A and B are shown apart, each in its own frame.
Chain A
Amino acid sequence: MSEYLPILLIFTLASAYGIWYQASRGKVKAKRRRADVNPLDASDFGSDFGSRATFIQFSSAFCTPCRATRALLSDITADLNDVKHIEVDAEKNLELVRKLDIRSTPTTLVLDSDGVEIGRAIGAPKRDEILATIDALK
């Protein structure tokens, strides 16, 4: 019996992590807006921010969901003049990665019209949630 103990432990822990992983990835988590938070500087990203909202997507090479996130966000923002999608290569912008505490890719920051981060999604976000986020920023 004892030879099955390690394998039971591994599958139990990995399953618990996997369930949490699937539940948490792609969710847009709102950030409480505080008065002392400074807006991000558009020049750091080499592009203007949107007048209504901006999605800043951090990507890396070894990341399959980054492709899906890119396709989704560029599709949604294509028809919207006031919402922008900016993709950042995390590896080449480590200073920003540290400053914004990006730990995995894709991580998408949602900025409001002032360029203040109001939420972020770790993992490929879902279309409905992104659309709802944009609607809330009218």
Chain B
Amino acid sequence: MSITNVLTFKINSDVKLIDARGPRFGAVLTTLVLSAFIVTQFLPLLYWQLAVFTLGAFLGSSPYSFIYRKFVKPRLSDDVPTEDVRPPQFAQLVGFLFAINATIAYTLGASTLGLVIISFALAAAFLNAGFNYCLGCEVYLLIVRAKSAVTSRKNHEDSYNLPSL
């Protein structure tokens, strides 16, 4: 699956803005759930977080954003800082990819590999919650660059296989 094809957006088109504190609150809950999973190795916690990432990545809404809207936001009175919906959704998609691979690894009995994979998702969620880390800023361009490098190399190789005229 290609990350760049799942979410395609135009950079300067009108974008949906959301309350920027929502995704950060979600990152706090993700950090807690994944930490609990890593300590206890209780698999339903991983499945739950996988479901949350799936909903966040593909529907743009998750149980965590529901909790935020329902119970947290009404208690906040400051001005609402807004952000483009795409960066947090991209982060959810990356979280989904890590969680699904970790789940597969655990299911196949490769629990050490699964632990390593889900550790990256926890690290990213923790960085987001504690340090305002922007995953899309740091990795998206690298993915696009790597992808285009592979494509251009492939085109180059294909050109060798053309029949000579």
Q: Do A and B come from one complex?
A: yes
Q: Which residues of A are at the interface with B, using a C-beta cutoff of 8 A?
A: 3-4, 6-7, 10-11, 13-15, 17-19, 21-22, 59-67, 89-92, 94, 97-98, 102-106, 123
Q: Which of B65-73, B99-107, B126-134 forms contacts with chain A? A: B126-134
B64 on the interface (CB 8 Å rule)? no
The answer to whether B86 touches A62 (Cβ under 8 A) is: yes
The answer to whether A61 touches B9 (Cβ under 8 A) is: yes
On chain B, the residues within 8 Å of A123 by CB distance are: 137
On chain B, the residues within 8 Å of A10 by CB distance are: 38, 119, 122-123, 126
B24 nearest CB across to chain A (Å): 11
Q: Which residues of B are at the interface with A, using a C-beta cutoff of 8 A?
A: 7, 9-12, 20, 35, 38-41, 83-84, 86-87, 90, 115, 119, 122-123, 126-127, 130-142, 144-145, 148
Residue among B39, B41, B127, B134 having the largest count of chain A Cβ atoms under 10 Å: B134
Known: A6-B115, A60-B136. A90 touches B123 (CB 8 A): no
A62 nearest CB across to chain B (Å): 3
Extra contacts besides A61-B11, A61-B86 (5): CB < 8 Å: A14-B127, A18-B126, A21-B133, A60-B141, A94-B145
- Main secondary structure on chain A at its contact with chain B? helix
Considering only CB atoms, which chain A residue lies closest to B41 in the complex?
A: A3
Pick 5 A–B contacts, CB within 8 A, sort by A: A11-B126, A14-B126, A19-B131, A62-B135, A63-B140
Of A7, A14, A61, A62, the contact of B39 (CB 8 Å cutoff): A7
Considering only CB atoms, which chain A residue lies closest to B131 in the complex?
A: A18
The CA-CA distance from A98 to B145 in the complex, in Å, is 8
The answer to whether B141 touches A102 (Cβ under 8 A) is: yes
The answer to whether B122 touches A22 (Cβ under 8 A) is: no
On chain A, the residues within 8 Å of B141 by CB distance are: 60, 90-91, 97, 102-105
On chain A, the residues within 8 Å of B138 by CB distance are: 104
The CA-CA distance from A21 to B136 in the complex, in Å, is 14
On chain A, the residues within 8 Å of B115 by CB distance are: 6
The answer to whether A7 touches B38 (Cβ under 8 A) is: yes
B33 nearest CB across to chain A (Å): 13
The answer to whether A103 touches B142 (Cβ under 8 A) is: yes
On chain B, the residues within 8 Å of A7 by CB distance are: 35, 38-39
The CA-CA distance from A92 to B130 in the complex, in Å, is 32
The CA-CA distance from A15 to B148 in the complex, in Å, is 32
A90 nearest CB across to chain B (Å): 5
On chain A, the residues within 8 Å of B135 by CB distance are: 62
On chain B, the residues within 8 Å of A66 by CB distance are: 137
